[in-house]
Amino acid sequence: MSGSATSMPHRSSEPVQAKHGFWRRLVRTPNGFVGLLIVAVLIVCAFGADFLAPYNPTKMGSGPRFLPPGGTYLLGTDEFGRDMLSRILYGSRLTLLIGAVAVGISLTIGMLLGMVAAYCRGWIETVLMRSSDILFSFTETLIALSCVAVLGPSLQNAVLAVAIAGIPFYARTCYSASLVEVSKPYFEASIAAGAGPFRMVFHHLLPNVLPTMIVVATLGVSTAILAAAGLSFLGLGAQPPTPEWGYMLAGSRDYINRAPWLMTIPGVAIAITVLGFNLLGDGFRTALDPKERDR
Amino acid sequence: MLSFLAGRLTMGFLTIFVTTILVTLLIHLVPGDPVQIMYAQSQGTTPEQMEEVRKSLGLDKSIPVQYAMFIGRLLEGDLGNTIRGGQPVLDVILQRLPNTLVLAVAAMAIAILIGVPIGFFAAYKQGTIWDVTLMITAIAGISMPHFWLGLILLFYFAVDLGWLPVSGGGPLNLVLPALTLGLSNAAIFARLTRSSMIDVLSQDFVQTAIAKGLPKKLVLRRHVLRAGLIPIITMMGLQFAFMMGGAIVVENIFSWNGVGRMAVEAIFQRDYPIIQGFILTFAVVVVFVSIMLDAVYAFIDPRIRRSQT
Amino acid sequence: MQKFLGKHAICAGILALSLGGSVAGAGAKDIVWARYGDIDSLDPHRATSTLSLQVWSLMYDTLLAVDADGHPVPHVAKSWTSNDTGTEYTFSLNEGVTCHDGTPLDANDVKYTIDTAFDSEKPSLTKGSWGPISSAEVIDPLTVKLTLETPFVALIPFLADSFSSIICDSNEDAAGFGTDTAIGSGPWKLVSWTKGDKIVFEKNPEYKNFGKLAENPGAPYMDGLIITTVPEPQARFAALKTGEVHIAEPPFDDVAAIRESGDLQIMVAENTGQNVFWEFAVHRPPFNDKRARLAVAHATDAAAAINLIYGDLSIPENCPVSRGVFGNDQDFCAEYRPAYDPEKSKELLAELGYSESNPLETALLVWTGGNRQKLGEVFQAQLAEVGIKASIEIMDIGSLNARVRQENENTEGTTGSMDMMTWSWYDPDILYALWHTPGAYRGYTSPELDAILDETRVLTDPEARKAKVQEAFKYLLSNAIHVPLYTPGWEWVFAVRPEVKNFHVAPFVYPIFSDIKIED
Task: State the Cα–Cα distance between residues C203 and C220, nearest whole angstrom.
Answer: 6
Element (H, E) at C284: none
Of C252, C257, C393, Cβ closest to residue A254 = C252
Encoded amino acid at C197, one letter? D
Q: Are residues C256 and C377 in the same domain?
A: no
Task: State the Cα–Cα distance between residues C380 and C369, nearest whole angstrom.
Answer: 17
Determine which of A56, A62, A254 to mutate to test the interface with C (most C C-beta atoms within 10 Å): A254
Q: Are residues C302 and C427 in the same domain?
A: yes
- Domain end, chosen from C169, C200, C228, is at C169
**Which CATH number belongs to the domain containing residue C514 in this structure?**
3.40.190.10
Quick: pLDDT tens for C447-499: 999 999 999 998 988 999 999 999 999 999 999 999 999 999 888 999 999 99
Contacts for B260 with CB less than 8 Å, ≥ 6 apart: B100, B244, B247, B248, B249, B250, B251, B252
The answer, yes or no, to whether residue C7 has pLDDT greater than 60, is: no
Quick: pLDDT tens for A117-154: 998 888 888 888 888 888 887 778 888 888 988 888 88
Q: Are residues C283 and C402 in the same domain?
A: yes
Q: Are residues C107 and C240 in the same domain?
A: no
Task: State the Cα–Cα distance between residues C292 and C283, nearest whole angstrom.
Answer: 13
Q: Are residues C316 and C413 in the same domain?
A: yes
Q: Which residue of A has its CA nearest to C367?
A: A235
Are C39 and B85 a contacting pair at CB < 8 A? Answer: yes
Q: Are residues C321 and C467 in the same domain?
A: yes
Taking the Cβ of residue C363 and every Cβ of chain B, the question of whether any pair is shorter than 8 Å is answered with no
β-sheet bridge partners, residue C393: C365
Taking the Cβ of residue C41 and every Cβ of chain B, the question of whether any pair is shorter than 8 Å is answered with yes
Domains of chain A: 96-249+270-293 (1.10.3720.10)
User: What mean pLDDT do residues A6-26 have?
Assistant: 55
Edge to edge, the sheet with strand C247-248 lists C188-194, C198-203, C224-229, C30-35, C247-248, C493-496, C265-268
Residues from chain C contacting residue B41 (CB–CB below 8 Å): 48, 397-398, 401-402
User: Is residue C210, in this structure, part of any structural domain at all?
Assistant: yes
Are C373 and A80 a contacting pair at CB < 8 A? Answer: no
Please check whether residue B57 is in contact with residue C418, taking contact to mean a CB–CB distance below 8 angstroms.
no
Q: Are residues C502 and C477 in the same domain?
A: no
Q: Are residues C354 and C426 in the same domain?
A: yes
Long-range contacts of C203-209 (CB under 8 A, 24+ apart): C204/C100, C206/C98, C207/C514, C208/C94, C208/C96, C208/C97, C209/C514
User: Is residue C176, in this structure, part of any structural domain at all?
Assistant: no
Of B195, B249, B267, Cβ closest to residue A149 = B267
Quick: pLDDT tens for C36-76: 999 989 999 988 888 999 999 999 999 999 999 889 999 99
Nearest to B33 by CA among B45, B19, B17, B21: B45
Q: How far is B230 from chain C (nearest CA, A)?
A: 11
The answer, yes or no, to whether residue A3 has pLDDT greater than 60, is: no
Mean pLDDT of chain C: 90
User: Is residue C315, in this structure, part of any structural domain at all?
Assistant: yes
User: Is residue C435, in this structure, part of any structural domain at all?
Assistant: yes
> Computed over its alpha carbons, how large is the radius of gyration of chain C?
25
Q: Are residues C162 and C31 in the same domain?
A: no
Are B269 and C399 a contacting pair at CB < 8 A? Answer: yes
Q: Are residues C78 and C40 in the same domain?
A: no
Chain A residues whose C-beta is within 8 A of a chain B C-beta are: 31, 130-131, 133-134, 137-142, 145-146, 148-153, 222, 226, 229-230, 233-236, 246, 249, 253, 256, 260, 263, 267, 270-272, 274-275, 278-279, 282, 294-295
User: Is residue C177, in this structure, part of any structural domain at all?
Assistant: no
Are B254 and C195 a contacting pair at CB < 8 A? Answer: no
Provide the pLDDT for residue A295: 41
**Which CATH number belongs to the domain containing residue C68 in this structure?**
3.90.76.10
User: What mean pLDDT do residues B129-142 have?
Assistant: 90
Q: Is the ipTM of this complex over 0.90?
A: no
Element (H, E) at C61: none
Q: Are residues C67 and C87 in the same domain?
A: yes
Task: State the Cα–Cα distance between residues C96 and A182, nearest whole angstrom.
Answer: 87
Determine which of A56, A78, A80, A233 to mutate to test the interface with C (most C C-beta atoms within 10 Å): A80
**Residue C116 belongs to what domain range?**
61-169
- Tally of structural domains, chain C: 3
**End-to-end alpha carbon distance in chain C:** 53
Task: State the Cα–Cα distance between residues C35 and C424, nearest whole angstrom.
Answer: 18
Chain A residues whose C-beta is within 8 A of a chain C C-beta are: 58-60, 79-80, 153-154, 235, 239-241, 251, 253-258
The answer, yes or no, to whether residue C26 has pLDDT greater than 80, is: no
Residues from chain C contacting residue B168 (CB–CB below 8 Å): 24, 197-198, 228
The answer, yes or no, to whether residue A217 has pLDDT greater than 60, is: yes
User: What mean pLDDT do residues A268-291 have?
Assistant: 88
Q: Which residue of B has its CA nearest to A149?
A: B267
Q: How far is B104 from chain A (nearest CA, A)?
A: 14
Q: What residues 224-243 of chain C have any CB closer than 8 A to a CB of chain B?
A: 228-232, 234-239, 241-242
Residues from chain C contacting residue B224 (CB–CB below 8 Å): none
Quick: pLDDT tens for B203-228: 777 778 777 777 777 777 777 777 77
Provide the pLDDT for residue B48: 66
User: Is residue C209, in this structure, part of any structural domain at all?
Assistant: yes
Q: How far is A88 from chain B (nearest CA, A)?
A: 16
Are C125 and B159 a contacting pair at CB < 8 A? Answer: no
Provide the pLDDT for residue C15: 41
- Domain end, chosen from C115, C143, C169, is at C169
User: Is residue C175, in this structure, part of any structural domain at all?
Assistant: no
The answer, yes or no, to whether residue A240 has pLDDT greater than 50, is: yes
A32: helix, strand or coil: helix
Task: State the Cα–Cα distance between residues B144 and B185, nearest whole angstrom.
Answer: 10
Provide the pLDDT for residue A4: 34
User: Is residue C500, in this structure, part of any structural domain at all?
Assistant: yes
C8: helix, strand or coil: helix
pLDDT band of residue C510 (cuts 50, 70, 90) is very high
Q: Are residues C283 and C243 in the same domain?
A: no
